[in-house]
Structure 1
Amino acid sequence: MDWEHLDLNPRIIAAVTKANCRSAKDILCVSGPDLQRLTHLSKSDVQRLHCAVAAAVRKSPAVTALQLIKGECPALEAGYKLSLVCPVLDRLMRGGLPLRGITELAGESAAGKTQFGLQLCLSVQYPRENGGLSSGAVYICTEDSFPIKRLRQLITQQPRLRPDLPSSLINSIRFSDNIYIEHTADLESLQACVSQRVPVLLKRGLVRLVVVDSVAALFRSEFQADEAIKRSRHLLTFSSALHRLSHCYGAPVLCVNQVTDVVEGPNPGRCDYGLVESKVLPALGIAWANQVMVRLMLRRLEGCVESDERSSAVRKLEVVFAPHLPRADCLCGVWEEGVRGIPDDA
């Protein structure tokens, strides 16, 4: 670390250099009394040194309690979330997706997971007063090609999905221009995407939502059964990058996940997270589960539901765990205009 760039008395800088302290870690990881003995500085000088080094390594400015009370940092308010554009779904999620942390949506094939991701890519582009974030989204595909035809259909059906909004507002948003699509074929390109290209989009304010569809595809295909430790190490690196992006820029992260069959019989090492009667569990095990803040499960049930003389297969969206949500679920369906929850009295 270049001590000369710090706003400190030259006397303090000389003492630090003489003590052979070369990095911020050498200062911040040492207690005040130990640093006094090491540098022969006074208590007040050590306090100034700690403050100067901490300020230099801090990536984002500190936020005071007074700023939070005055509402000067709306992105940090726990009550604000990204809407799912449906009263029933938003009620289940108490407003929508949290702005910070990883939200996982797991389910079997054809359950409708991608439909949620596409719908959120459109929802994020609406103004804050309409449940959005006035920004775009980046959609990372790891297994299938991006469903561009379905996206175009959702865009044309926005007036039907959002009848509460004036058509002038909907027509003023260029939805397709604000969705950035990335295709990653291996873990190396996936890591390069979340560590290099996605931060550029977030920093420029072009996106405020990250969707990964799906997180399990590459980790399942590139590691053998006996490489669990190596896979866990790569998972932690990937999830750390996502957490860093989400917390630095206040951007929700939605990770679509596959499921794995539950093997019958005693298995004391299996953790079902409350899904005792389920025949499938989210993939990637406990190593990935510990990185997720909100876990949702989407299931396709038997039967259909009618709406405006149209039918859809019934889905069940369930909150498995979340720090701010109880265990609950609701029914929903997928129509031309998108995903909509089914009221209890329907």
Structure 2
Amino acid sequence: MSAAIKKEKVSRKAAPKEPEQATAEPAVVSDDDEADDALSYDRIELLQDVGINASDIAKLKEDGFATVGQLFQVSMKRLLQVKGVSEAKAEKLIQAGRKIIGEKSGFITASSLLIKNKQKYFITTGSKQFDMLLGGGIETMSVTEVHGEFRTGKTQLCHTLCVTAQLPRSQGGGAGKVAMVDTEGSFRPQRVSEIAKTRYDLDPKEVLDNIIVARAHSHDAQMDMVTQLGVLFADPERGPFRLLIIDSITALFRTDFSGRGELSERQQRLNVHLQRLVKHAEEFNIAVLVVNQVMADPGANAMFGPVLKPVGGHVISHACHTRILMKKGRGDNRICKVIDSPCMPEAECTIQLTAGGISDVDE
């Protein structure tokens, strides 16, 4: 792994089943190496230890099942779609999975959940004011949506995060790699190189080597890429990954499904896609950032100019944990507003677009 990433040994051992003691401290990011050594998931290969054939495990991996927990994240109907899996075999897989993950497949105490939440990271946006607005930065185990008109800095935020996600934890980074699904051809590696060299004095090649990018041309390809990323995220030899970016989340769905007749199918497919992102975020302790487009709202009161709303409707609203609106300001300034968050109030701040990426105004 490159020097741009903090060297952290990744253990193949699963996290302890029972936390020793719950505390009432607020959720914070710890720099304790022991906290980083334990995986937050159980790899699908562990099923072989409880009687599942290696050939069946290989079929599960081919279909995107990379962890034991994913067996409990899908319906029986979805599990039966895996080649060679009958109802009897599906039930056997579920029973074998329960032997491995135990109580994690059902109810846990809120105290245990609090301890799990302390494993979250916060990846800096490059702006201290913006980080404060978000409670520390872009949060792992969470899906963050950013939307706004063109030229409001959405893609520049993505470019900045591609670098900051690789910084050491002590500098507000995630000490991990980045995966990006580009649906609009907006990713510019030269821009990432400029931010890495100009602002953080990092080797641009090493930073770029720690970013994997896929160009999607249809919503089916976009969904397949995210499914297969689960296998990659579950491989400790290829990671750790700390950030997944989709830019943009709705562009190809709007292209492939047009008209009111296909609206219901579009929303259903988009919901499946978003739920997969939520599961990746929670299971692999990564931050998921989705960039969204906006559209004119013909039903709104346009007395004070055109009213814009994010694409995706209630499906996006329910699936994303934090939602951010970006607006144009004076010159290179941009306004960022938190419009929905599970723990932060509605508020806004001003940032600046610079050669070094997102930063505070007149930094």
Q: TM-score normalised to the size of structure 1?
A: 0.70
Q: Secondary structure at the match of 2:289?
A: strand
- What is the Cα deviation at residue 66 of structure 1? 8.4
- What is the Cα deviation at residue 80 of structure 1? 3.8
Q: 1:187-234 CA distances to partner (integer Å, 9 max, x unpaired)?
A: 121111111145314533242210000011101101022211101111
Report the number of matched residues.
277
1:163 — aligned with what?
none
Q: 1:105-163 CA distances to partner (integer Å, 9 max, x unpaired)?
A: 0011111100111111111111112211211101110012421221221122124xxxx
Q: 1:261-307 CA distances to partner (integer Å, 9 max, x unpaired)?
A: 121457xxxxxxxxx99721111111222111100000012x33xxx
Alignment CA distance shift 1:59-1:212 (3 Å): farther
> Aligned partner of 2:288: which letter?
V
The alignment status of 1:95 with 2:136, answered yes or no, reads: yes
- What is the Cα deviation at residue 54 of structure 1? 2.7
| 8 A Cα contact 2:233 2:284, kept in partner | no
1:153 — aligned with what?
194
2:146 — aligned with what?
105
Q: d(CA) in 1 for partners of 2:102 and 2:267?
A: 28
1:156-171 alignment, distance < 5 Å? 156-159=197-200, 170=202
| 8 A Cα contact 1:60 1:248, kept in partner | no
2:317 — aligned with what?
289
Which one of 271, 279, 282 corresponds to residue 307 of structure 2? Answer: 279
1:332 — aligned with what?
351
1:228 — aligned with what?
263
The alignment status of 1:243 with 2:278, answered yes or no, reads: yes
Q: d(CA) in 1 for partners of 2:298 and 2:173?
A: 41
Q: d(CA) in 1 for partners of 2:137 and 2:255?
A: 32
| 8 A Cα contact 1:24 1:57, kept in partner | no
Q: 1:163-204 CA distances to partner (integer Å, 9 max, x unpaired)?
A: xxxx6xx45992111011110000121111111145314533
Q: d(CA) in 1 for partners of 2:324 and 2:111?
A: 35
Which one of 182, 187, 202 corresponds to residue 219 of structure 2? Answer: 187
Q: Which stretches in structure 2 are left out of the alignment for 5+ residues?
A: 1-46, 53-86
> Aligned partner of 2:137: which letter?
G
Q: d(CA) in 1 for partners of 2:158 and 2:313?
A: 22
Q: Which stretches in structure 1 are left out of the alignment for 5+ residues?
A: 7-20, 29-49, 160-166, 267-275, 305-312
Q: d(CA) in 1 for partners of 2:198 and 2:313?
A: 38
| 8 A Cα contact 2:337 2:348, kept in partner | yes
- What is the Cα deviation at residue 101 of structure 1? 1.9
The alignment status of 1:139 with 2:185, answered yes or no, reads: no
Q: Identity of aligned pairs, percent?
A: 24
1:246-257 alignment, distance < 5 Å? 246-257=281-292
Alignment CA distance shift 1:27-1:109 (3 Å): closer
Alignment CA distance shift 1:57-1:228 (3 Å): farther
Alignment CA distance shift 1:153-1:172 (3 Å): closer
Alignment CA distance shift 1:22-1:198 (3 Å): closer
Stretch deviating more after TM superposition (115-124 or 170-179): 170-179
> Aligned partner of 1:92: which letter?
L
Q: Secondary structure at the match of 2:196?
A: helix
Q: d(CA) in 1 for partners of 2:184 and 2:204?
A: 33
> Aligned partner of 1:140: which letter?
V
Which one of 197, 206, 209 corresponds to residue 177 of structure 1? Answer: 209
Q: d(CA) in 2 for partners of 1:122 and 1:249?
A: 20
Alignment CA distance shift 1:98-1:61 (3 Å): same
Bigger Rg, structure 1 or 2: 1
2:60 — aligned with what?
none
Q: d(CA) in 1 for partners of 2:146 and 2:93?
A: 42
| 8 A Cα contact 2:182 2:247, kept in partner | yes
> Aligned partner of 2:246: which letter?
V
Q: 1:24-65 CA distances to partner (integer Å, 9 max, x unpaired)?
A: 76999xxxxxxxxxxxxxxxxxxxxx8x76334769799988
- What is the Cα deviation at residue 22 of structure 1? 4.0
Alignment CA distance shift 1:80-1:145 (3 Å): closer
Q: d(CA) in 2 for partners of 1:238 and 1:59?
A: 27
Q: d(CA) in 2 for partners of 1:68 and 1:281?
A: 34
The alignment status of 1:316 with 2:340, answered yes or no, reads: no
> Aligned partner of 1:259: which letter?
V
Alignment CA distance shift 1:23-1:64 (3 Å): farther
> Aligned partner of 1:194: which letter?
V
Q: Secondary structure at the match of 1:138?
A: strand
> Aligned partner of 1:81: which letter?
F
1:33 — aligned with what?
none
Q: d(CA) in 2 for partners of 1:106 and 1:59?
A: 38
Regions of 4+ moved over 3 Å = 21-28, 56-69, 170-173
Q: Secondary structure at the match of 1:203?
A: coil
Q: TM-score normalised to the size of structure 2?
A: 0.67
